[in-house]
C-alpha cells in the first residue's frame, strides 16, 4: 500500500505524450516544449519563456513540477557531493555526485527508500525498507545534481535500494533521461547494479533497457556470501552465474563484478581462486571496492598492502581488475555508506 501523500503526478516523471494527455494540451509540440524545459533542469514554470504566461500561471497553481526537495547538501574535498532529498510523503533518500580523476561526473541515484536486502556490510541495508521510489523521484535526483554541478556524464543506479526490485520505475527513468526531445543521455552512460537477483538480470536482458550491468558479488564462496548477502539463499551462485551468462549472450555486453573488500574476510588466496572459478566462461570485469567504514558495522577496511596483494592474485589468474579509489568518505557518500538512521 502506497503512502497517502505520495505524488504520482509530478511532471518530471512524465514523457511528452503523457504530459500532452495529463495537461489536456491542444498541440503535441507544447508538451515537447515543457519536456525540454524540465530536461534542461528548470524547477519552476516562470523560466519557461516560450510558453504563454497564462498557461505557466495555471500550471504553477494546479500542477506539481517537482515532488522532492533538497534538505541537506554535503561536499567532500575530493569533489563528491551528497544530497539528502525529501519526498512528498516525508521519506528521505540520498543521492551522490562522483567525479573521477578525468573530471567525469556521475550521478549515483537511489531507487528505494531504504533497502530490503540486508547486506551485512551496507549502511542502507541496516535501515530497513519503506517503499519503492517513483520514476519522477529518481529523475529529480539527477536534475538536482545537475543544478549543483553542471551537466553530468553518466548515471548509475547504485544508491539506496535494490534496482531490480523497482525495475519498471528504472525503465521509465531511463526512457525520460534518454529521450531525444529531452536530456538525451546515452544508454551507454547508464549502469544498473544488483546484489544478485537473477530473475531481474534475465528481465533486463529480455526487455531492456539496453544499459550496462554490474553485479555486487563480493565473494564467490557460497557459505560466506550467504552470511554477508542473504539474497544468496534464494539466488545461489550457480543460478546467478547462469543469469549473467544469459545477459551477456543476449546483449553482447560485458558485465562488471563488484567486490567490497573487507580486511581478513574476502581477500585471501582461496577467495581469489573462487572468484576466478566463478568468472570462468563469463565476459566480466572485476571492480574491487575497499570497504568504506560505517559506524556499528563490525568490518575493517583492508590495508593497502592487503588490497594490492589481492589484486595481484586475481591478475595472476588472468582476470581484468580495476581497484576503485575512495570517493566521498568524509561525507558518508561512498559505496555502502548511504542512508542515516532517523534522529527520533
Which residues are identified as catalytic?
94, 335
From 45, 47, 34, 92, select the one nearest 68 (Cα to Cα): 92
Rounded-to-integer distance, Cα 245 and Cα 189, Å: 22
Backbone angles phi and psi of 88, in degrees to 5? -60, -30
Rounded-to-integer distance, Cα 33 and Cα 4, Å: 31
From 237, 234, 202, select the one nearest 219 (Cα to Cα): 237
Rounded-to-integer distance, Cα 109 and Cα 139, Å: 9
From 230, 238, 227, 161, select the one nearest 198 (Cα to Cα): 238
Rounded-to-integer distance, Cα 344 and Cα 341, Å: 9
- Name the 3-class secondary structure at 258: strand
Quickly tell me which residue has 530490503 as its cell: 116
**Are residues 94 and 113 in contact, defined by beta-carbon separation less than 8 angstroms?**
no
CA atoms within 13 A on the CB side of 199: 7
Helices (H) and strands (E) in the chain, counts: 11, 12
CA atoms within 13 A on the CB side of 306: 16
- Chain centre to alpha carbon of residue 3: 23
Amino acid at each position: 500500500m502506497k503512502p497517502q501523500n505520495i505524488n504520482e503526478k509530478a511532471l518530471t516523471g512524465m514523457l511528452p505524450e503523457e504530459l500532452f494527455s495529463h495537461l489536456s494540451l491542444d498541440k503535441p509540440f507544447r508538451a515537447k516544449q515543457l519536456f525540454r524545459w524540465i530536461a534542461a533542469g528548470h524547477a519552476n514554470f516562470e523560466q519557461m519563456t516560450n510558453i504563454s504566461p497564462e498557461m505557466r500561471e495555471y500550471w504553477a497553481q494546479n500542477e506539481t513540477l517537482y515532488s522532492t526537495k533538497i534538505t541537506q547538501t554535503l561536499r567532500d574535498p575530493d569533489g563528491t557531493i551528497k544530497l539528502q532529498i525529501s519526498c512528498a510523503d516525508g521519506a528521505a533518500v540520498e543521492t551522490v555526485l562522483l567525479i573521477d580523476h578525468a573530471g567525469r561526473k556521475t550521478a549515483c541515484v537511489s531507487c528505494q527508500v531504504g533497502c530490503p536486502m540486508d547486506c551485512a556490510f551496507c549502511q542502507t541495508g541496516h535501515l530497513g525498507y519503506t517503499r519503492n521510489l517513483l520514476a519522477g523521484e529518481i529523475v529529480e535526483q539527477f536534475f538536482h545534481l545537475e543544478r549543483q554541478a553542471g551537466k553530468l556524464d553518466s548515471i548509475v543506479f547504485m544508491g539506496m535500494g535494490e534496482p531490480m526490485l523497482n525495475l519498471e520505475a528504472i525503465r521509465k527513468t531511463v526512457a525520460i533521461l534518454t529521450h531525444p526531445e529531452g536530456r538525451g543521455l546515452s544508454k551507454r552512460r547508464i549502469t544498473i547494479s544488483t546484489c544478485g537477483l537473477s530473475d531481474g538480470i534475465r528481465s533486463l536482458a529480455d526487455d531492456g533497457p539496453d544499459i550496462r550491468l554490474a553485479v555486487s558479488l563480493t565473494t564467490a564462496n557460497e557459505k560466506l556470501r550467504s552470511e554477508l548477502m542473504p539474497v544468496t539463499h534464494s539466488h545461489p551462485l550457480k543460478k546467478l552465474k547462469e543469469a549473467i551468462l544469459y545477459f551477456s549472450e543476449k546483449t553482447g555486453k560485458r558485465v562488471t563484478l563488484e567486490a567490497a573488500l573487507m580486511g581478513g574476510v574476502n581477500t585471501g588466496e582461496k577467495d581469489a581462486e573462487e572468484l576466478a572459478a566463478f568468472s570462468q566462461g563469463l565476459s566480466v570485469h572485476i571492480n574491487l571496492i575497499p570497504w568504506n567504514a560505517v559506524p556499528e558495522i563490525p568490518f575493517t577496511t583492508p590495508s593497502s598492502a592487503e588490497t594490492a596483494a589481492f589484486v595481484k592474485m586475481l591478475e595472476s589468474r588472468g582476470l581484468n581488475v580495476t581497484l576503485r579509489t575512495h570517493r566521498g568518505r568524509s561525507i558518508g557518500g561512498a559505496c555502502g555508506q548511504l542512508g542515516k538512521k532517523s534522529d527520533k
